[in-house]
Amino acid sequence: MDDKTNLETQNETSELLFSFGVIADIQYADLEDGYNFQGTRRRYYRHSLLHLQGAIEDWNKESSPPCCVLQLGDIIDGFNAQHNTSEKSLELVMNTFQTLKVPVHHTWGNHEFYNFSRDYLTNSKLNTKFLEDQIVHHPETVPSENYYAYHFTPFPKFRFILLDAYDLSVLGLDQSSPKYQQCLKILKEHNPNTELNSPQGLCEPQFVQFNGGFSQEQLSWLNKILTFSDINQEKVVIVSHLPIYPEASDSVCLAWNFNDALAVIWAHQCVVCFFAGHTHDGGYCEDPFGVHHINIEGVIETAPESQAFGTVYVYPDKMMLKGRGRVPDRIMNYKKETVLHF
Ligand SMILES: Nc1ccn([C@@H]2O[C@H](COP(=O)(O)OP(=O)(O)OC[C@H](O)CO)[C@@H](O)[C@H]2O)c(=O)n1
């Protein structure tokens, strides 16, 4: 039975708790259509805004509205920087998001850093850390200001965690800063190419300049939240611009130290799924520990007659992604022993 058939029959049997929207790689620019670096995929820079408008209309019309939308990064394209249109394009896209009736959580991708510095982003509307929740009496679950990550509770017993996949990165930093120098050293140790965006000849092809990674500090924070969630029998959804599971992604698109993130996640029971963008063809795999890795198809490479977004419906025993256009439906059953009893 395919996923679409499953979706129609399975959701009749259990109670819907809440839902949320997902969308990735809008990469808006007021430019004629172009192509990706390899010249194999068409990029619809202008139409991406119309795709976003269509997604918002759909979410606003849902009879039971989603609690929030997760925007998986690369909201405007790096070409805006070359045309001095970064702020104008961001304003246009953010004004479009204003028409959505529910909050949006923004993650940061490489194209955010082509347009803006990390300091600029921290003080911009793309910083949605104000939507975070604090866990009373658990100071270890408060993220540091050194990276852009936070967590929140959209519904009792569910925790969403936004990760900063460019915490280790050469993008968006002042070249004279110690962190830039530290990240450049890591990148060059793994990538001897003169052009650091090129994965040519690499045995770890994810070590390119347009990717990044997670610091030990951020991973240790993630570990503390997942420990809290395990103890409190919560279900966790993790979100990042960069994917972390090789079988669900083009290997060139993975986070630098995806293995370190997987090791933390696999040490816990609570994680249901990991949503990412960046790999515009999308992808899915359930890993051996029962974590579902869903990479959402990029809006930027979605033809005008199609769509690319989804709504995830959350039940006591599973989550169901209803994809629109080229985003497929997915069923994400919870690990058997961790099904919730309400
Ligand atoms: N082999 C490559 C690939 C890319 N570049 C340059 O790197 C920059 C980012 O590339 P771009 O394709 O725009 O990045 P996206 O985040 O849109 O897409 C990620 C995946 O490719 C999608 O599947 C850009 O300046 C490229 O020119 C490169 O030099 N060498």
Residue 111 lies in a domain: yes
Span from the CA of 210 to the centroid of ligand 1 (angstroms):
7
Report the percentage of the chain scoring pLDDT > 90.
94
For 79-114, b/e burial (b = at least 16 CB within 10 A) is: bbbeeebbeebbeebbebbeebeeebbbbbbbbbbb
Closest Cα to atom 26, ligand 1: which residue?
Answer: 37
Q: Is the pLDDT confidence value at 241 over 90? A: yes
pLDDT at 1: 41
Span from the CA of 265 to the centroid of ligand 1 (angstroms):
28
Q: What is the pLDDT of residues 113-154, one digit of tens each?
A: 999 999 999 999 999 999 999 999 999 999 999 999 999 999
Taking residues 302-322, report their average pLDDT: 98
Span from the CA of 235 to the centroid of ligand 1 (angstroms):
34
Residue 141 lies in a domain: yes
Give the position, in ligand 1's atom list, of the atom nearest the Cα of 281: 23
Mutation test residue for ligand 1: of 197, 207, 240, 299, the one with most atoms within 8 Å of CB: 197
Span from the CA of 37 to the centroid of ligand 1 (angstroms):
6
Other residues' Cβ atoms within 10 Å of the Cβ of residue 274: 25
Residue 178 lies in a domain: no
Give residue ranges with CB within 6 A of ligand 1: 36-37, 74, 110-111, 195, 197-198, 210, 250, 253, 278-280
Residue 28 lies in a domain: yes
Query: What is the rounded average pLDDT for all residues in the chain?
Result: 95
For residues 239 and 261, is the Cβ–Cβ distance under 8 A? no
Other residues' Cβ atoms within 10 Å of the Cβ of residue 77: 27
Q: Is the pLDDT confidence value at 11 over 60? A: no
How far is residue 95's CA from residue 297's CA, in Å, rounded to a whole number? 23
CA atoms within 13 A on the CB side of 37: 8
Q: Which of 127, 35, 131 is nearest to 73 (CA)?
A: 127
Closest Cα to atom 16, ligand 1: which residue?
Answer: 278
Closest Cα to atom 19, ligand 1: which residue?
Answer: 278
CATH number, residue 291: 3.60.21.10
pLDDT at 14: 81
Give the position, in ligand 1's atom list, of the atom nearest the Cα of 199: 1
Residue 171 lies in a domain: no
Q: Which of 72, 234, 299 is nearest to 163 (CA)?
A: 72
Which residue type is seen at 154? P
Closest Cα to atom 27, ligand 1: which residue?
Answer: 37
Closest Cα to atom 18, ligand 1: which residue?
Answer: 278
Give the position, in ligand 1's atom list, of the atom nearest the Cα of 250: 23
R_g over Cα of the chain: 19
pLDDT at 4: 47
Residue 197 lies in a domain: no
Other residues' Cβ atoms within 10 Å of the Cβ of residue 137: 6
Span from the CA of 79 to the centroid of ligand 1 (angstroms):
12
Residue 316 lies in a domain: yes
Domain range for 332: 3-166+220-338
Residues sharing a CB contact under 8 Å with residue 181, sequence separation 6 or more, in sequence order: none
Closest Cα to atom 15, ligand 1: which residue?
Answer: 278
Mutation test residue for ligand 1: of 37, 82, 299, the one with most atoms within 8 Å of CB: 37
How many domains does the chain divide into?
1
Give the position, in ligand 1's atom list, of the atom nearest the Cα of 279: 23
Span from the CA of 36 to the centroid of ligand 1 (angstroms):
7
Place of tokens 């769509």: 307
Q: What is the pLDDT of residues 51-106, one digit of tens each?
A: 999 999 999 999 999 999 999 999 999 999 999 999 999 999 999 999 999 999 99
Residue 202 lies in a domain: no
Closest Cα to atom 14, ligand 1: which residue?
Answer: 210
pTM for the full predicted model: 0.95
pLDDT at 6: 52
φ/ψ region of 39 (left if φ > 0, alpha if ψ in -120 to 50, else beta) reads left
The three-class DSSP label of residue 23 is: strand
